[in-house]
Amino acid sequence: MERPSGNGFSVGLGLTNECNLACAHCYRDTGRIDRLSLEDVRRVCENVPVRSVNLGTGENGLHPEFHAILQYLRDRGTTIALTSNGYSAAVLSDDELRAFADLEFSLDFATEREQDSWRGPGNWQLVLDQTARVLRLGVSVTIIAVMMRTNYDKLAEIGALASQHGANFRVNVYQPVKTDAFSLDYEQFWTGFQRLLKSCPLAVCNEPIVRAILGFDPVLGGCGKGTIRVTPKGEVLPCVYWPKRNVGLAELEKWGAAIVDSPAFRELDRIPQFCGNCRFVESCRGGCPSRRLLRGGLDLPDEFCPFVAGKPIPSFASRAGSSRQFPKAGSACTTVFGAQEQGDRKA
Ligand SMILES: C[S@@+](CC[C@H](N)C(=O)[O-])C[C@H]1O[C@@H](n2cnc3c(N)ncnc32)[C@H](O)[C@@H]1O
């Protein structure tokens, strides 16, 4: 069975689902407030080998034990990253920020007007201020965007902005966890990637179908193999968008690192019959399992597959990227673009 690379799992912890914003596209549960306690975080870290922790889901800075949990992770020597709308970085001291390997800030648009009308007044400036602050402290910053039907043709501009500011750029495809309202159609998905790959220097592409068509090797690790997610309710998931919630912290204690061999995690390995003889199947493994499940069933092929859509294989004008290590590169269906080197950057 495939195991995480010697140093352990990349663990995503949602300390809380509370947020100071209410973005229309967000997957977080808004029914009630749940929180992982410091004790829960300890249970996770003591039961599986942890290579790195990424704090996401809500705004972790709203968690009453945020600073104590951060200190616990620092004391363990864990590699830590945080995904934030800017708020959680702003509540941290410079010393605390220096403990992170990477700070991720979300931008869904490349202009202040569009970003603030999507997320809330002042968010654009907060992200830019915290980006500058974190970079001044010598910590790397990644701007993260979700590719949706509302912005799929504007992402290259966010990539350019990230690069101008000295940040990396990461793109995830919108997952219809709560609504289809922001889902991409087939043409939007491929137009979005073609535009991105034309303009931004690609570092890592783990979006399974795009990766396969670019001719890259199969992803090693990834959802439910090298990564484990723990929600604020204490649900243990192979992927943050996985809709089935049947594993909890007690099962994680029971299985330990072998959680990735549990039937609940192995379910992601199912490959649709449609894909059986495809020449790309070893690389794309049938596409994104969470998307397939959310959009109708694990046994259905991924809707963005050109063979499913009866379309020609898309072509790309790809720009080679950097070979540096990116904290979230091994996780899930994500695509990372590298910042230009110092000398290439606009002032
Ligand atoms: C859930 S938020 C949590 C951290 C923080 N509140 C923020 O906005 O970055 C983490 C990232 O997931 C993205 N996201 C939210 N809902 C999503 C969805 N349904 N599909 C894909 N990405 C989503 C957000 O836009 C954000 O970039």
What CATH number is attached to the domain comprising 85?
A: 3.20.20.70
Assigned domain for 325 exists: yes
Range of the domain at 35: 9-266+314-340
Number of the ligand 1 atom closest to the C-alpha atom of 105: 9
Does 14 sit in the ligand 1 pocket, CB within 6 Å?
no
Collect the ranges in the chain with pLDDT lower than 50: 1-3, 5, 322-324, 341-347
146 lines ligand 1 (CB under 6 A): yes
CA 263 from centre of chain: 24
pLDDT at residue 239 in the model: 94
Ligand 1 proximity of 142 Cβ (cutoff 6 Å): no
pLDDT at residue 222, rounded to an integer: 75
Q: Which residues contact 88 (CB under 8 A, 6 or more apart)?
A: 55, 59, 60, 61, 62, 66, 82
Residues 51, 93 contacting (CB under 8 angstroms): no
Pairwise CA distance, residues 332 & 226, whole Å: 9
Which DSSP helix (H) or strand (E) runs through 242?
Answer: none
For residue 307, being part of any structural domain is answered with no
Q: Which two tokens stand for residue 5?
A: 């690379």
**338 CB less than 6 Å from ligand 1?**
no
Pocket flag, ligand 1, residue 140 (CB < 6 Å): no
* Atom 15 of ligand 1: nearest residue by CA position: 26
Q: Is residue 292 part of a domain?
A: no
Q: Is the CB of 28 under 6 A from ligand 1?
A: yes
Q: Check residue 1 and give its pLDDT.
A: 41
Residue 309 lies in a domain: no
As a whole number of angstroms, the distance between CA 60 and CA 40 comes to 15
State in Å: Cα 26 to ligand 1 middle: 6
What per-residue confidence (pLDDT) applies to 316?
A: 86
> Is 144 touching ligand 1 by the criterion CB < 6 Å?
yes
Distance (Å, whole) CA 320 – CA 214: 12
Helix (H, G, I), strand (E, B) or coil at 100: strand
Instruction: In whole angstroms, give the CA distance from residue 115 to residue 50.
Output: 35
**Sheet holding 236-237: strands in order across?**
202-205, 334-337, 168-173, 140-147, 100-106, 79-84, 50-55, 9-13, 227-230, 236-237
Q: Which atom of ligand 1 is nearest to the CA of 178?
A: 19
Helices (H), 23-122: 38-47, 66-76, 87-90, 94-97, 112-119
Q: Tell whether ligand 1 has an atom less than 6 A from the beta carbon of residue 148.
A: no
27 lines ligand 1 (CB under 6 A): yes
Burial label for 77, CB within 10 Å (0-12, 13-18, 19+), is: exposed
What tokens does 52 get? Answer: 């790195």
How remote is the CA of residue 17 from the centroid of ligand 1, in Å?
A: 11
Distance 57 CA to ligand 1 centre (A): 7
Instruction: Take atom 26 of ligand 1 and give the residue whose Cα is closest.
Output: 106
Residue with tokens 């540096």: 324
- For residue 216, what pLDDT is reported? 85
115 lines ligand 1 (CB under 6 A): no
Of 194, 156, 201, 193, the C-alpha closest to 173 is: 193
Overall number of domains in the chain: 1
Instruction: Specify whether the CB–CB gap between 99 and 66 falls below 8 A.
Output: no
CA dist 135 → 107, 275, 337 (Å): 17, 44, 17
Inside any domain, residue 275? no
Reduce the DSSP state of residue 69 to 3 states and report it: helix
84 lines ligand 1 (CB under 6 A): yes
